[in-house]
Amino acid sequence: MTLPNMHYADLKDSYLFYDISQKVNAYIERNPQSRVLRLGIGDVTLPLCKAVTDALHSAVDDQSRQESFHGYMPECGAPFLREAIAAHYAGRGVSVGPEEVFVSSGASDELGDILSLFDVSNTALIPEPAYPAYVDANVMEGRKIIHLPTDENSGFLPLPDEKYKAGIIYLCSPNNPTGAVFTRELLKDWVDFANRNGNIIIFDAAYEAFIEDESVPRSIFEIEDAKSCAIEISSLSKTAGFTGTRLGYTVIPAELTRNGMNFNEMWVRNRTTKTNGVSYIIQKGAAAVFTDEGQRQIKENIRVYKNNARTLMNALDSAGMKYTGGRNAPYIWMKCPEGLDSWALFDYLLNEAGIVGTPGEGFGICAKEWFRFTSFGKTEDTEEAAKRLALLFAKRRSK
Ligand code: PLP
């Protein structure tokens, strides 16, 4: 008999987005006239910017002509894109060589695939609430997990502690779902902790483009000594609206070694075995993001999302609600009002105001009293949702 990977049986059923869509569909059936405002799923709504679509069109044309046609692309990424990404890091004062940059089809793919570099005996330390893929990808491999709950007292930021014996440490900044960002000092504490204990940090920088405070690091490699203990995984999904176009990148420093093995060389070996590279067309579109014009245009889109966040934050402020995030992140993480847990609040907002958010419980059991709104919705929906939220919470408070 063929034996399946039985670790899949250890996965907790994740009905989060399924349950949400079932509840929303039932609501629409009951209230066909209602305007449902979706601030739940973290997908973007604005189209790709013109610099990117121009580059995509021209890359399609390249593929139609004999003299500019491209077949298989280099497995680790096209040199033009690896160089553009390295130059982007350099622009922020971070020295990363093109051969340390690996182009991927997105951060989710990479978060799962990268685990093949680590022996299964390494425990994974996952601060929660967290993007659910961290836990599930490790459960699938049968890896032991330390779930490290964080709370509002620490601003949802985990603190290193010698009692954590973990080979792999997940850090995400800006965080999904809490919007928390690491300060330079705290990130340095984690880098020192990892170097001291021989651990490796997987740093998820998928939302770095939303950081507006100059003092907040956008890459772990802005921190001294990080190159001997960290891998950074990033994505154009939220930075440039690539959720459906797909492109991510990973930085594995040349000097990252453990037990005589070099992680960068291992990843080259992995990629050259397990992929045939990302499409030429998509890589051309991605390279346009890193041009001056591309940067200007993606920042315009990010500004729209930031205004949405501001609109929601103003509404929550006016209703006296407690929340984190929104400033350096596209997510607003709100404390549920007294007497409602996150699923009860989900039902309440849907039924009373036609608003769809995401119950905190979906990001870890420690987040049952929290709720996530995204700023990726359409501006007109966000404005309407803000009005309804302010009214609803103000009414609830005055009762
Ligand atoms: N990391 C975090 C923290 C995310 O929230 C997401 C997507 O929502 C991803 C990674 C995945 O991004 P991608 O679309 O590049 O797979």
For residues 388, 392, 393, 395, the Cα torsion angle rounded to the nearest 10 degrees is 140
Mean pLDDT of 262-278: 97
Alpha-helical runs (H) found in the chain: 16-30, 50-64, 79-91, 107-113, 133-141, 184-197, 237-240, 263-274, 280-289, 292-318, 342-353, 379-398
The best mutation among 14, 43, 111, 237 to test binding of ligand 1, ranked by most ligand atoms within 8 Å of the C-beta, falls on 237
The best mutation among 45, 128, 131 to test binding of ligand 1, ranked by most ligand atoms within 8 Å of the C-beta, falls on 131
Structural domain spans, the chain: 14-43+294-398, 50-291
State whether the beta carbon of 256 lies less than 6 angstroms from ligand 1: no
pTM of the predicted model as reported, rounded to 2 decimal places: 0.97
Domain 14-43+294-398: which topology?
Aspartate Aminotransferase, domain 1 (3.90.1150)
Nearest to 240 by CA among 62, 31, 49: 49
Place 13 in a pLDDT band, splitting at 50, 70 and 90.
Answer: confident
CB within 8 A of 22, min separation 6: which ones?
none
Portion of the chain with pLDDT greater than 70, in percent: 100
Place 234 in a pLDDT band, splitting at 50, 70 and 90.
Answer: very high
Q: What is the pLDDT of residue 258?
A: 98
Instruction: Give me the amino acid identity at 289.
Output: V
Distance (angstroms) between ligand 1 centre and the Cα of 398 equals: 39
Looking at domain 50-291, does it have CATH number 3.40.640.10?
Answer: yes
Q: What is the pLDDT of residue 396?
A: 82
State whether the beta carbon of 248 lies less than 6 angstroms from ligand 1: yes
